[in-house]
Each structure stands twice: as C-alpha cells, then as structure tokens.
Amino acid sequence: EVQLVESGGGLVQPGRSLKLSCAASGFTFSNYYMAWVRQAPKKGLEWVATISTSGSRTYYPDSVKGRFTISRDNAKSSLYLQMNSLKSEDTATYYCARQTGSSFDYWGQGVMVTVSS
Amino acid sequence: DIVMTQGALPNPVPSGESASITCQSSKSLLYSDGKTYLNWYLQRPGQSLQLLIYWMSTRASGVSDRFSGSGSGTDFTLKISRVEAEDVGVYYCQQFLEFPFTFGSGTKLEIK
C-alpha cells in the first residue's frame, strides 16, 4: 500500500525558514517523480514543486522560486521541502504527492504550516 | 499560465441522481501524443486528495465506474452517476500539460 507521511510543519515567523519532510513507503521511491502541493485555508490547490527521480531536475512556480527548494534522499525514501524567507501567504496545508506522467496519483494527509508573528 | 475555470453545482443533488461538473481551460490540453492532460480529483471533508480521472477520461485504479470524464481540448465534464453520500466533497480539475500545473477553484457537491 502506497503511503506518504508528511512532517515538520508548525508555526513560524515571517522571514524565517522551515523544512518539511515526507516519508514514502509501499512503492519504489526512486522510480517516481515527486511533488509538493499546498492548500491555503479554505482555498484551492497550488502546485509548489516537482523533483525528478534522481533529483537532478527541479521545477517551481514563480510564487516560490528562489525561496523554496525541493530535494530527495532515495536511500531513505524521503522527500523534503526547504522553505526560506517565509511569508504570511505561504500559510497552508502542504501535501506530498507521487507524480506520474499523467497525474498526482497518491497524496499524503498533509502538514500545516502557519506563518505569523 | 493555463487558467482552469470550474462551474458550480445546483446543490444539494438528490441521492441517486446524476451530477455533472464542468471545467474549462484557457489553452487546449490535447498533446501531440493524442492524450488530453486533464485530471479530476476529489477532496472529501477533512481528508486529502484522491485521483479520480486522468487523461480526461481514464478512471484511476479502484475508482467506481459511476465516475466518468469526457470533453474536448478545452471543455471538460466529470459526470457522477447515481450520487451517493460518499461522493460528498470538493472536486478539482487540473491541467497536467505543462508547468506550472494549475487547478480549478473546486466544485462542491452536497447530497440531499
């Protein structure tokens, strides 16, 4: 059974940093692209980052480019999201998702990040 | 960026009836490989997301055949036949043609 479990969320002040983790199990992690998607409170979904199987290629929307860094450790079946220079508008639930050539086919339960002073 | 626009439902929908959710993209999602890169997801109350349909009309593994997807390059429909209580939630369409991947704003389904 595919499982994705996020951790590392919490309350952080504007301008500070936070690192999210996602532990994957139930599939060969190194064979899949992975992604982060976020959902602000009572809002819709926003794709945040994608990483290739080896980690050599990463993709971001303009809203987080230069502030967020996605990475992975295939030996540990783990995905990460380093978030720097956080803003209030980054407040959201962050989901880890497995990415195929067609979709995000499995999602974690999400982890909440609140950016506030 | 590709803009995804979703329509609303005349909620609540009577149990056992059909419901159709529309989605429109600002650019054709038909790729040169013949596939249309449009996905549908369901977010049940308090839960994470579940993939329902990919490539516009292919049901994901384990998804009921009461869910069906159709459309053209820019106009899409998710049809839910014989709605049940477990279908309650917010439905999102998403384009997977190009970065940045974008989602519709969501369509809420309530059951009577």
The token duo for A74 is 């295939």
Considering only CA atoms, which of B59, B49, B67, B58 is closest in space to residue B103? B49
Residue of A nearest to B95 (CA): A103
Q: Is the pLDDT of residue B18 over 90?
A: yes
The token duo for A52 is 């290739």
The reply to whether residue A102 touches residue B35, judged by beta carbons under 8 angstroms, is yes
In the three-class reduction of DSSP (H, G, I as helix; E, B as strand; rest coil), residue A61 is classed as coil
Per-residue pLDDT of A68-89, as tens digits, reads: 999 999 999 999 999 999 999 9
Q: What is the mean pLDDT of residues B16-36?
A: 97
Average pLDDT score over chain B: 96
What pLDDT is recorded for position A96?
A: 98
What pLDDT is recorded for position A42?
A: 87
Average pLDDT score over chain A: 97
Which residues are within 8 A (CB) of A31 and not within 5 positions of it... i.e. 6 or more apart? A53
**Given A45, A50, A105, which is nearest B92 (Cβ)?**
A45
Minimal CA separation from A46 to chain B, in Å = 7
Q: Is the pLDDT of residue B10 over 90?
A: no
Per-residue pLDDT of A102-114, as tens digits, reads: 999 999 999 999 9
Rounded-to-integer distance, Cα A67 and Cα B76, Å = 35
Rounded-to-integer distance, Cα A43 and Cα B20, Å = 22
Q: Which residues of B touch A103 (CB under 8 A)?
A: 39, 51, 54, 60, 94, 96
Q: Which residues of A touch B55 (CB under 8 A)?
A: 102
Q: Is the pLDDT of residue B11 over 90?
A: no
Q: What is the mean pLDDT of residues A15-29?
A: 98
Q: What is the mean pLDDT of residues B52-59?
A: 98
The reply to whether residue B99 touches residue A44, judged by beta carbons under 8 angstroms, is no
